[in-house]
Every structure is written in C-alpha cells, then in structure tokens.
Structure 1
Amino acid sequence: MKLALFDDHRLGVVDETGESPRVVDVTEALGWPHDPDPLTAGWWRRLCRDFSRVRGRLAEAAAAGEGRPLASVRLRAPALNPSKIVACACNYADHVAEMHGVQERTLGGVESWMMNFDVFLKAPSSLSGPAEDIVLPSEIVEAGQEIHHESELVIVVGEGGTDIPEERALDHVLGYTLGLDITVRSAADRSRRKSYDTFSPLGPVLVTADEVGDAGGLEIWLDVNGGKRQHVNTRDLLTPVPAIVSYASHMMTLLPGDLIFTGAPPGVGAIVPGDTVHASITGVGALTLSVRRG
C-alpha cells in the first residue's frame, strides 16, 4: 500500500492501476479524530503504531472511493512531527572512500573518527515535502561553504521499541520513503550541519514494507540538472536495514513514526541556487526539487 499525506494533511491511498496515479482520501476510515495541525498530529503516530489493525478499513475505503488525480493535490512529506530523525553515517564503502577527498578539500584534513559507521540525529523541523524547494541559508552561501546532496532510503518506524533484536527488526518497520540528507560541509557537528529547514526533503509517499519487499535490493539514483551524480543498490549497505533498526534501538527508544535515514551513497556533490535535483528509488518513488537561496 502507498500512503500519502496531501493538502491539509489528509491521509490518502495512492492507486496506480489506471492510466495515471490517483489518490483516494481515506482519512475518515481511520476510526479516530484527524487533527490537521502537524505539530499536534498524534493521529499519524497512532496510524504508524496501529497500521495492521486499520489496514483493512483503509483498503476498503480506497477501493470504494473515486479518488483524485495525484497531480492535482499538494503532496506533503509522508511524516508528521516524528519524535526524532535518526541518520546513518558511513554506510557505503565507496562513500567512505570519497569522503577522504571531500574532507581534504573542505576541512583541510581527514577526521578519522568520521569514517566509521554510526548514527546521529537531525532536527524534525528540517523535514520538507515534494512540493517545497531546498532552501540554502544565505550565510552559508555567502561564506562559500559547499552544501551537498545525499539521496537515501528512509525507514519509517511502525511499532516502536527498545533493544530490538536484529532478527525481529523488520517487525518494527511500517515502510519506506525517499529522503535527501542535505549537508553543509564544515567542521561543525553533523546534527548542526544537517538540520537547517528543508534539509530533509521526504516523499513522495510512504510505501509499506510488504509492498517494497526486500529493502536490500533497491536502486537509488540522483541527478542534478540532468547529470547523474549518484547510483547505488541498497545491497551495498555496510549495515543493512535490520541491523540499523536494532543498533539504533539499543541506544534510544524508537517511537512510532520515527524516521531513519540509512546512509548516503557515493557520488555526493555540491548544489547551488538554481539547480534542479531529481532522486528516485525503485518501488518507492521519485522527487524533483528546486534549489534556491534563502
């Protein structure tokens, strides 16, 4: 099932069986009140936690509804006020190798501790949706610092948990979406460099785990102005999805609706005002975003 948040943060199911995709509003089928305010939208976290209980109702409402052309609605990021955004560092070997050159150029030397797999946090306020631009802070642009794109598979947590065993980790995954981890290259802490507003574009929809299937065999692409920058398969993740979920849950409780960015593929590079970024993941979807200066 493909779930979309659209317009006034309504819940939709995307139907791609016809000539063009349509979205059916299934908000009323949830069985609990819908709060359109994204800052207080506990209904979304409840959906993430209880999806298996309401999936049948949502499917029935989607089958009965007429739907609207997907192109006629304003898609929002398929996440509402997560308690945290967890992000993985150094999770593709070729990206680790390329970062030596990036750090030599931007920092004047290699920070060896940054070359190991680990997780860090991004501000939830950095989330943006498919209809929004990537906004580069004026002070960063004026300082001449590089701002890079990173295209990533993003895990959406369903039923949360603590100390989740790796062999049960996928039971805690609701689904997946596509995210960009926009990054200032500087000596500052990762969380600071990656948490500006619009630095976590997400979308276009949430695809449930059963529909995606094996998350360890997905192709990720990213182009800037039509030129290929990134292409990788998630089978090359050094720490695969089940291990990521388990690892993160051993240091912090994962709550329903939390997001986990799985790590940047090789091919990171600078974006500047006026660029157009197109990213896609097989079976998950695609984003086309404009870059502008704040």
Structure 2
Amino acid sequence: MKLALFDDNRLGVVTAEDRIVDVTDALPGPHDPDPVTAGWWRGLCRDFATLSGALRAAAETGRPRPLTDVALRAPVLGTSKVVAAAMNYGEHVSEMHEVQERTLGRVEAWMMDFDVFLKAPSSIVGPGATITLPPDAVAAGHEVHHESELVVVIGSGGKDIPVEKAMDAVLGFTAGLDITVRSAADRSRRKSYDGFSPLGPWLVTADEIGDGSDLDIRLTCGGTVRQEVNTRDMITPVPAIVAYASSMMTLLPGDVLFTGAPPGVGPIAPGERLEMTISRIGSMSVTIA
C-alpha cells in the first residue's frame, strides 16, 4: 500500500493510476493535522496491521483524485528522531577519501566505518520543497552535498530488536535526500539544517517492498545522472541497520532511518533541481535556493 500525507496532513492511499483516495475518515480516532500533536500518525505506524483492512476498503470505495490536484507532504508526521547510517556503500567509502582531502585537507579515519548518527526531525520537508543553502556554510566557502538514500519508516519499533525480527518492526520505505555540509563540524550539526531531510513522495509498506534489498536508486540534476546504485550493494542491509540502531536507542513508531549514501555525492548550487527515483517507490524533486 502506498500511504501519502497531503494538503492539511490528510491521509491518502495512492493507486496504480496515479490517483489518490482520501482515507482519513477510516482512522479509528479524530484527525489532527498539527504535527506537534498528531499522535494518530504514530498510532497508525504502530497499529498498521490491524488498521490496514479498513484503509484498503476505504481506498476501494472512495473517490479517486488526480495526484496533481493535491499537495503532497513528507510521508511522516511528528517523528521522534531521524537516525542515519554512515558509510554503507563501498564505493562511497572510497570517494569520501577524496572528498575529505578536498574539503578538510585530511581524511578522518574514524568516519570511514559504518555507524549511525542522529539528524534533527525539524530538517524534514516534503517533495517539491525548496532547500535554502545555509548562509553560514556559504559564507565559509563550504560545499553542500546531495546524498540520495532509501529511507525506512519504523512501525511497531522496539529495543534490542533481533536481525531476524527487524522487518516486523518496520512499516515501510520512502525516498530521502540527506543534505550535508562538508566541514569539520559534528556530523549531526552539518546535516540538521532546516530542509536537509526531504522525504517522499509517499511511503510504500514493507509487504510490497520486502526488506529493501533490491531497489534501484537514481538521482539526476538537469538530466545528468549523479547517483545510480542498487540497494543490494549496501554493506549493512536494512534488517541489520534496524537491529544495530535499536541496540543503542528504542526505535519508536514513526521514527525515520536513512540507510546510507550511495556513491556519487557532490555539491549542489542555487537554481539546481534534483530529481530522485527509487524503483517500486516513486520519484520526487527538490529545488536548491
């Protein structure tokens, strides 16, 4: 099922005909559009298995609308944290040696190993967003890079989740850009500016995607391919990322987990339009200002 948030954070199901059906009224409680108090979304993430039947029925009987008639929002709401994996594609590890030599004048060896870190939830924006380069980074002459990634949205979540049970804790997947300032600052700081976590265009539930291990990721700018990879090339696959992250922190319903940057990261500049596609999920674009 493709779940989308649109307009005033209404819940929609996207159909195969590029249509969307508003299924908000099939939710068991009142709809609250405020991201600060919208506990219904986290409840949906946690209880999707029991709510999916009613949502499917509402999608089948509701009135489809063209996607062009609605404004898609980020397919998460009120998330407690954004967890991100670092150094999860071998070719990206290799290219980061050159990137760090150019932007830092040295290679930080500790940053070449797989790990996870946190980004600010306030960095999340939806498809079609305009991302403004941070004035302080621009003034300092720092490069700001794109990183296109498969993103996991946590369902039931948990703590110390075994690898073999990890996908039971996942609601689904979406596409995301981990926008990054290249500087000597802390990783979380460089990746947490407002707008630095575009997500979209919607969420596809795990029953349609599996464990995310065979998806094509592609990022273009002005028709030029900048990143292209299959998720089978991940060093640490999705179930292992979920298990590892949960060994340090409780993963709560609605949490977001970036799975790592593929090779091909590079600078972005005002006026550019980035278009990202993940097979079996969909496409989104953002504009740089």
TM-score, structure 2 normalization: 0.99
Partner of 1:28: 25
Deviates more, 1:26-35 or 1:110-119: 26-35
Unaligned 5+ segments in structure 1 are none
Q: In the alignment, residue 234 of structure 2 is paired with which amino acid?
A: L
1:213 deviates by 2.7
Partner of 1:248: 245
Give the one of 191, 199, 203 matched to 2:200: 203
Partner of 2:277: 280
Number of residue pairs matched?
289
Task: Name the SS of the counterpart of 2:132 in structure 1.
Answer: strand
Partner of 2:225: 228
1:74/1:131 contact within 8 Å kept = no
Partner of 1:118: 115
Give the one of 78, 82, 90 matched to 1:81: 78
1:212 deviates by 1.4
Partner of 2:14: 14
1:142 deviates by 2.4
Q: In the alignment, residue 148 of structure 2 is paired with which amino acid?
A: S
Deviates more, 1:175-184 or 1:224-233: 224-233
Q: In the alignment, residue 235 of structure 1 is paired with which amino acid?
A: R
Cα-Cα RMSD: 0.7
Q: In the alignment, residue 258 of structure 2 is paired with which amino acid?
A: F
2:211/2:238 contact within 8 Å kept = no
Deviates more, 1:128-137 or 1:201-210: 128-137
Task: Name the SS of the counterpart of 2:203 in structure 1.
Answer: strand
1:68 deviates by 1.0
Task: Name the SS of the counterpart of 2:13 in structure 1.
Answer: strand
Q: Partners in 1 of 2:58 and 2:95 — Cα distance?
A: 48
Partner of 1:5: 5
Partner of 2:267: 270
Q: Partners in 2 of 1:138 and 1:190 — Cα distance?
A: 18
Partner of 1:212: 209
Q: In the alignment, residue 108 of structure 2 is paired with which amino acid?
A: E
Unaligned 5+ segments in structure 2 are none
Q: Partners in 2 of 1:170 and 1:275 — Cα distance?
A: 36
Partner of 1:194: 191
How far does the alpha carbon of each residue in 1:3-48 deviate from its partner, in whole angstroms, 9 at most, with x for none? 00000000000011x3xx1111000101111111011111000000
1:214 deviates by 4.4
Q: Partners in 2 of 1:226 and 1:189 — Cα distance?
A: 33
How far does the alpha carbon of each residue in 1:164-197 deviate from its partner, in whole angstroms, 9 at most, with x for none? 0000101011000000000000000110000000
Q: Partners in 2 of 1:259 and 1:77 — Cα distance?
A: 11
Partner of 2:95: 98
TM-score, structure 1 normalization: 0.97
Moved over 2 A (4+): none
Q: In the alignment, residue 202 of structure 2 is paired with which amino acid?
A: V
